[in-house]
Each structure stands twice: as C-alpha cells, then as structure tokens.
Structure 1
Amino acid sequence: MHIRFFSASLLTLFLIVLSAPALSYEIEPLEGGLYRFIDDRHRSVFLITEDGALVTDPMNTAAATWLKKQIKMRFNVPVKYVVYSHNHSDHIYGAEVFNHPDTVFVAHQLAAQDIHNTRANTVAPDITFKNEMLLKLGANTVHLTYHGPNDGRGSISMLFEQQKLLFVVDWIVIGRMPWQKLWSYDIQGMINSTQEIMGYDFTTFVGGHADIGSKQDVARYLNYLNQLYTQVTQSALAGKSLAEIQTSVDLSEFDDFANYDAWLPLNIEGVYERLMEESGMGWRPDISQPK
C-alpha cells in the first residue's frame, strides 16, 4: 500500500515536471559592450564596461536571477545601475535580485510615484528625473528621456550614445503589430513620442518586445500608427460604427507585420474606444453618433 502510494506520488511529480514550462533565456551580443537579454516575449539590454554593468528592466525574479549569475560568470563586474523603462510589473519586477548598497536604481519620477502608490513589489528608485538624465559609465553615456504620455507611467527612451542604439519598451515594436486592443496606450502620445525620437542619432533599435531593427523600421512603425489613427478618426467623424470601421480601414501595406490578421481589428477597436472615451467623441453634439 505504501509502495503503491510512493510510486503514484513519484509519477505525479514526474508529470508535473514534464508539464512545467521550461525557462528559456538568451543573451545576444550587440556592439560596444551592449547585449540583449531575452526572456520569452520580453527583452531588455545591458551594458558591460570595466567600471561595471548597467542593467535595464529585470523583468521578473527568475529572469533577473539567471541574468545576474551570467553577468558574474561571463564578465565578473558589479552592477552599478538598474534602469526602469516605465512602471509596468512585467518589465520591472525581479529588481530585488540586484539590490545592493553600491547599485543605483533609476526611473522617471512618474514611474517612481506609481511604484510607491501601488506598492509594487520591486525596488524603489534611488534617483528620479523629470525630463532627461545622462548616466555615465566608463567611456559610455546613456541618455534617458521622458517624451510625455505614451504607454504606462513614466515611460522613457534610453539612447546609448556611443553605440548609437536606442532602447524603448512597449510603445515601439518592430516587425509586429501593437499589442491587441492597445491597453494602457495613449495613441496620440505614442505618435508624438516616436516622432520625437526620430530626431535622435541612432542606427539600431531594440524594443522591449519583438525584433531588433533600424531607424527605418521605426519610421515604418510610426507610419502604421499614423495611418491607423488617421483612418479610424476620419471614419468616426463620418459617423461610422466600429464594425463599419473595422471593415473599411485599409492598412494592407503592413500585412507583413506579425499578428496582422488577428490584431488589426483589435488595434482599430482600441483606437476607436479611446476616441469615444478619452477624446470625448462619444458625446460630441457635432458628430453623428453610430446607432
């Protein structure tokens, strides 16, 4: 009886181990001491110098633990900075792994405010800024900039000046559609922010999701956002219903983007809802409302 129970328990444990998702992490070398860290759908970058490392979004405890071990094993340098891209937990949790008296945590002031107010389970930033900040590490300069509302709170761009590499999370993705119904996105803010970073001197783009790309890829993504927002707005002004807009909007020149067929109707719905609610078009007397 005990032997049978013991065997059944072992079998159950074996099946649980088999069904558990395997942790799959990757580190890809970029240039000038920069590396991209991949955890499933999420990406971050880190910089290695003789004076130490700068780590961006830790993502979660398991991923951060693995990354910390890799930095120690491969490069044997201390982590000097951890920089948060914005306030969303799927990017900034796990920071406790890097918590050390000699490590400085950096975020925009709005992200820090939200982390405090919502009691987010991550390390509170030591340093915050309002508009921009320059971080120096060895011969490297990292330019952090807040561009206004776009996604989440306190979302910033990170320009690694010597490498001419720009890192942005969530409000720009390369080779893929924006996320489904654009939850938490400020669409016009995303357009404004992306237009602003197009004035930066960068050749390589790394996003918090999807592919690595070029400045030209970012320009094409901006073109998609502009056309999406313009077409949906014009259709709403004409009094069309959401269903009518979803069948009339033509963005087929971007049909090579991943998830185009599945997410285009959702992208349209997300823009439409924000126009109706946040822009107040749903109660404007000068617009013929759909029935």
Structure 2
Amino acid sequence: MQPISSKLILLVISLLTFSNFASSYEIETLEGGLYRFIDDRHRSVFMITKQGALITDPLNTAAATWLKAQIKSRFNVPIKYVVYSHNHSDHIYGAEVFNDPKTIFVAHKLAAQDIHNTSANTVAPDLTFDDEMRLNIGTQSVRLNYHGPNDGRGSISMLFEQQKLLFVVDWIIVGRMPWQKLWSYDIQGMINSTQTVLTYDFTTFVGGHADVGNKQDVAHYLRYLNQLYSQVTAGALAGKSLADIQKSVDLREFSDLANYEQWLPLNIEGVYERLMEESGMGWRPDISRP
C-alpha cells in the first residue's frame, strides 16, 4: 500500500474544514432581490440585480469565500459594491475575497480613516462620504447615512429604498438585549441615531445581529435604551452605588428580549461606567459617590 502523502492529508483537512464552516452559513430570501446572509451570530445583507450585486459587510474570509461562491452559482452577476457598516473587524474582514478592479468598496470617511490608521487587514475603501450617499444599480437605490457617534467609528445606516428595508449593524438590535456591557457603544449616540432612523420610510429592519423585525420593533428597542439610560442616570445622580442601581432599575416591560435576565445587570453596569468615565460624573463635585 502506498503511503498517504502529506499534501493529500492537508487537502482533506481543508475540505473538511470548509465543509464545517459552510454548514453554519445560511442565505435567507427577503424581498425585491434582497437576501440576508447569516454566519453564526453575525448577519449582513446583499442585493442582486441584473446589473450586479451590492454586498454589505463581508464578515470574515471564510464567510466571504462561501458567499462569493454562492452568488456566482446562484445568480452569476458581478459584484459592483461592497459597503462597510463601520470599522469593526468582526464585520468588515474578509473583503479581500471580493477585491477586484471592477468592485467599488464604500465606507464612511471615519471608518476609512480608522481602517488606514490601524492598518486593518481589509480592503481600503475606494469611495467615502460625510453625511449621506446614494448608490444606484439599475433601478435600485441604497441610501447611506451617517448619524454621528453610536458604535465604533463611521457607523452608518443603509436604507434599501425600493424595498423599504433598513440595515443597521450593532447599534440597533431587535428581539435581543444590547451586547452585554455595551463596551464600544456611545449610548446617548445610539438613542439619537435610532430616533433619526425611525423617521425613515421603512417597514422591514435587518440588524447585524439577532432578528429581522419592523419599525415597531425598533421603537420598542429605543424605549428600552431610553429607560435604561434614564434610570441608571437617575441612580447615579442620587449617589447610589452600581449594586444598588442594579437592584432598583425596573425594566420588566422588556423581559421579552432575549438574554434579558443574563445581560440586564451587564447593560446597567455598562451605562454606569460610561456615565462615570465618558460623561465625567465620576469626578463631578456635585455628585456624591458611595
């Protein structure tokens, strides 16, 4: 019997690994040529037209490789645009898979700046904007808007205008609590940004995590953020300790959100830390500390 070559062993391992990755990926049909791409707990959206495809966050190299192959086999159209939602690597890595002279990479100027300054291992944007940009493919249009600080740098909303579908990553999540201690969030900024997008004409919401929802779900999420922020702020102004605030905050109205029991204390802690540090309440002479 001939010995198995090391190259053959590596090939088999690579195929098995790719197969395992592929089994965790899904493409869900939305509406009007839109699709949601799912990689474990991350989501992105892409649009297919006769003229080509618009891809949002590529997520990572393995996911992007699988998605590119699926678009080729299912639709056989070129990739016209890749749009980054913001600067965080768990959403915009893997873009090299789509790197082609005919593909335009798009991001807000602050996300592009951060990608450059931090030498992020992704494709640098070709096209940037300040406040608003509209991308057109055939009869379809996508409106990109920057709303100020909310999560990361250069985080934007994407409104697929004909389908009335809004895509936002990280700073709006429907059907689930905000992520644990809200580490990278500007919480007041999230509130401001969410208030703005609720004035937009959309009926379907897709986030970079969690569920697909509607405008009512986004409004429910905004009420949670407002009450969380206001109740923690009131406790801090009263000189309560973090532990006392965690005991006194009453947000049972939002117990329908996934991870409510596990993450509510963490959400409260995250808001409290932002108030003490970023808002400077920790060293204000008019606020007593326990």
Normalising by the smaller structure, the TM-score range is: over 0.9
One-letter code aligned to 1:186: D
One-letter code aligned to 1:40: D
- Aligned equivalents of 1:120 and 1:287: distance in 2? 41
Alignment of 1:196-235 (within 5 A): 196-235=196-235
Aligned residues: 278
Q: Which residue of 2 aligns with 1:255?
A: 255
Whether 2:58 is the aligned partner of 1:58: answer yes
Q: What SS does the corresponding residue of 2:199 show, helix, strand or coil?
A: coil
- In structure 1, the gaps of 5 or more residues are 4-9
Moved over 6 A (4+): none
1:169-225 Cα deviation digits (max 9, x unpaired) = 000001000000001000000000000000000000000000000000000000000
1:241-270 Cα deviation digits (max 9, x unpaired) = 000000000001111111101100000000
Q: What SS does the corresponding residue of 1:105 show, helix, strand or coil?
A: strand
Deviation at 1:22, TM superposition (A): 4.6
Q: What SS does the corresponding residue of 2:216 show, helix, strand or coil?
A: helix
Deviation at 1:21, TM superposition (A): 6.0
Q: Which residue of 2 aligns with 1:6?
A: none
- Aligned equivalents of 2:72 and 2:268: distance in 1? 45
Q: Which residue of 2 aligns with 1:169?
A: 169
Q: What SS does the corresponding residue of 1:112 show, helix, strand or coil?
A: helix
* Identity over aligned pairs, percent: 80
- Aligned equivalents of 2:97 and 2:126: distance in 1? 16
Q: Which residue of 2 aligns with 1:101?
A: 101
- Aligned equivalents of 1:120 and 1:191: distance in 2? 28
Whether 2:166 is the aligned partner of 1:127: answer no
One-letter code aligned to 1:198: L
1:129-183 Cα deviation digits (max 9, x unpaired) = 0001000011011000000000000000000000000000000001000000001
After TM superposition, the score normalised by the length of structure 1 is 0.93
Alignment of 1:47-196 (within 5 A): 47-196=47-196
Q: What SS does the corresponding residue of 2:223 show, helix, strand or coil?
A: helix
Deviation at 1:289, TM superposition (A): 1.3
- Aligned equivalents of 1:42 and 1:101: distance in 2? 27
- Aligned equivalents of 1:21 and 1:47: distance in 2? 26
- Aligned equivalents of 1:289 and 1:182: distance in 2? 22
Kept after mapping to 1: 8 A contact 2:109/2:130:
yes
- In structure 2, the gaps of 5 or more residues are 4-8
Q: What SS does the corresponding residue of 1:194 show, helix, strand or coil?
A: helix
Q: What SS does the corresponding residue of 1:234 show, helix, strand or coil?
A: helix
Kept after mapping to 1: 8 A contact 2:21/2:62:
no
Q: What SS does the corresponding residue of 2:267 show, helix, strand or coil?
A: helix
